[in-house]
Structure formats: structure tokens, C-alpha cells
Structure 1
Amino acid sequence: MKAAPDAQWRAIIALARYGGLRTPSETAALKWSDLDFAAGRMIINASKTEHHRSGGRRVCPMFPELRPYLEDLDALAEKGDEFVVPRCGKSSNLRTMFIAIIERAGHEAWPKLFQNLRASRETELLALYPAKDVSSWLGNSVPVAMKHYAMARKEVFEDAALKPSGAMPENADENSEAESEADAKQNAKQTVATASGPQEHVQKKSPRIAGSLPLPPPKVILGQSGGMGDTEFESVTSAV
């Protein structure tokens, strides 16, 4: 911005980077009548989507990062001016001048100069607001935004690796110790049962009913795999 020659060029860069406008087409079509400073909104006319049901018109917030550059132009505008950035006409060669500005600032020009500014803005907004809202502000569909504009960011990846995004397990060390102790007892129990061979539980004598035969005690084999655990529904497992 400091390397830009005047307020119009600063606004051109800001409209692409902070407003997400297609440049030069949408920036060139922007009129003072499209700006509502009191409501903090802009009406954008997009020739690229004028065949859609919306007629290519959309409403976009006047983002706080963008507003100062528009206010600067507003202060410089003369009575009767129609377009916000008159310099951004069809005959102007914005690309050549923008490369000169970038090099003057000590940087190297990147591919797709203005489209990448728009993509950077859409990526930022998608991290803060619902995709449907962002897409309506910038004038594309959600699938198009995901395919052509949204970018994976290194800082987001690093945050995801360091910051919990869900509930952390409580008392993880204590649970682990309790599970290890329970597993050790179960293994010892199975070892004793296997060494002594199949055993029978002794059932207490129940009262005999006249004329009935005594029922044999049920046999329960210990130490076999696949049996039910204490839950009586399925084998007890450790916490997942």
C-alpha cells in the first residue's frame, strides 16, 4: 500500500484484497450510488454473473479493513463523480502498473495478481463465517469457492496439531493404570483355571419337592475364550 502512487491505486488493491472484488471488471463498475457507508454495505455488479437470476448484483459487507480506503476516495471525490475508481477503466493496463508497485515495495510479483488477492480474502472469510454467506458476498457458489479460491493455510495446520478441538480424556493416566491392574488380575485368574483343569461350581442344596428328582448342578467351564464377561452381554473390553 505504501508503494502505491495514490489513493485510487490503494483502493484498487484494497477492493481486491479486502473486498474480494473481481478486478478490473467489478472494481471498474463500482459507483458511489452502490456504497452505503451508514449501513456498511456495497452493491457489486458482476458482468461475469449477469446472466444469473440475480442479474449479477450482490450485496457485500463494507469490511472494516476496506472502509478507510473508500473513505479516502470519498473525501477526494468531486461533485458529479459517478465511479468510485475512475482510473480502473477498460483501457487501463492495471497489471503492468501493479507489477511495478509490487517491485517498488521490494517483492516479487505472484501468479494471477488480482485473482490471488481475491482468493486470499475468501480464504480468510471462510475461516470466520459460514461458506454460504461468504460465497454470496463474493459472488460464487460454495463448490466454486472450494475448488478455485479456498486455500489450505500452514498456520491452521499447525494450530490443529497443537490445540485440542474436542474434549480431552480425563484422568488418562489413572484409567490406564486401573485397566492394566484389571488385565493382570484377569490373566492370573485364567492361568490358575487353565492349570487346574475344568472345574465345577458347587451348588447349595435346594429344598426338594415331593415326587421330583434332584436337578444336577450346572457346569460352568472357566478359562475359555469368547465367554461373556461380568456384563453378561459381551466380553468386557478396555476403553476405546
Structure 2
Amino acid sequence: MNWTASPRRWSTDAGSHSSGASRSSNWARRPRARSSGGLGQYLGRPVPQNADGHMLGHVRDTGRSLADPATRGYQTRAALPFHTDGADLLALLSLRTPRAGGRTSLVSSAAVHNAVLDLRPDLAERLYRTYFFDRREEHAPEEPPYAAAPLATRLGGALSMRYNRCYVESAQRFPQVPRLEPADLELFDLIDGVAGSPEFRLDIDLQAGDLLLLNTHTIMHARAQFEDHDSPHSSAICCDCGRPCRIAPVPTALATGSPLAM
């Protein structure tokens, strides 16, 4: 794979699709979960959501916090800033609307990349540097607790971006990981600011039965804080898939072990 590390402008073609075709108040949760898994098999190769090998991630407020390095975003009610998952494709099926909050937001990774190039060309080169991502205790004993990869790569002539500030910053807890520089934090602040700008982002209020499909190479997503129902049931199901047809593969450093998903 040719990873060329000089910034250039990229096309901002979309890489997302949403559908309400699965809306039905009579469609039980278990068949919906099976359908999500079947869709993942059709679109690509479903990959585990965690070290326990669970193929589906159930989004619910478990009372846990991202301050705990063993906690994943889908296990909390906290706001999740713009990020990408570590697989090629993300499928998110809404089972019910939260009691409050939980809005999903999308942004083109290429648009964010190009904005960095326009606004701070002095920082653009850092997009292609190697960063270290915390694996959140989702690694085998013989594997390192972090993965190394650039934020932006060129794969097959197209841009692929992998961004998760939470995991990059929490990887600083490992002494063997190089320290972030002030310019790195400036870059992260700029990415977050551009991605969260109304000029760039698209907000979606998913309804029960809505299905959202994202090419994680080209789309970043975020979630607002939400208030869950007083019920043990999940509000949504997420499924990560590896390398469906016509989608560039994840860089090897990110494809090892569990996906770097929130």
C-alpha cells in the first residue's frame, strides 16, 4: 500500500446512507438484531465489537464513564465527539428514540481534511504523521495495548481518515507512547471545530427502525449526550464490518484486534 505523506485537496463525495425501511412497531428486538447481523454478513465481514467477540454492540447507558480506560462509548450516555470507527463500514440500527438527546451528526472527512489545509496549512502535514490509539483494554495479552496509524492515508487513490481524539489522548497513559506536542493539540482542536461547525456537519434524529450506514473511511460521526429509558433494553445496535466490496481496506495497524470504535 502506498501511503504518501504530502497533503492535497480531496473530493468530498458522500459515504453515508440512511433508511427507514425497517420501521415497524411490531418488529421485535431479537429479529432486528438478527437482521443487523445478516446485513453485516451481506455488506462485508462483521468484526467483533470487543475482546469478548460480541458481533453486535448494544448502545445503552450502563452507568460507566469514558474516564475508565476499559469503557467504550456505546456503553455510556456521554456525548461522543466526532470520530471514526476502525472498521470499513458502520451499521447503526435505532431500536427506539432516547428519552432526550442522542442526536447523531455526520461530517465528510475529506471536507475536514481540506479545511485544515485551507485554514492551517502548517498543521496539515501532521494529518499524515503516526499517532497512537488506546485499545481500551480490548487487546490480547501478547499484543500491545495501543495501535499506531496516521490520521490520514492515501489508499487506492482515495483519502482514508481515522480520527478518535479520545483514544489518542488516553493512549498517553502508556509511557512508551511518544508525547503529544502542542501543535498536535492545535490540530485536534481545529478538526473538532471544523467537524462541529454547522457549515460542515449534518444532524440526524434517528427514529425507531432507522438504519444508518457509514463508510468510516470518508465519514466521521458524533453523538450528543442522551437520557436513556428506565429499561435494560438497548436504544440501538451497532455493527462494524471489514472491507466490503469497493471500499478501501483499513490500514493494517488499525485492523489488528478489535476495531477502534467508540
Q: Normalization by structure 2: what TM-score?
A: 0.18
Q: Which has the higher strand share?
A: 2
Q: Which has the larger share of helix? A: 1
**Which structure would you say has the larger Rg?**
1
TM-score by length of 1: 0.19
User: Bigger relative contact order, structure 1 or 2, given CA contacts below 8 A and separation 6+?
Assistant: 2
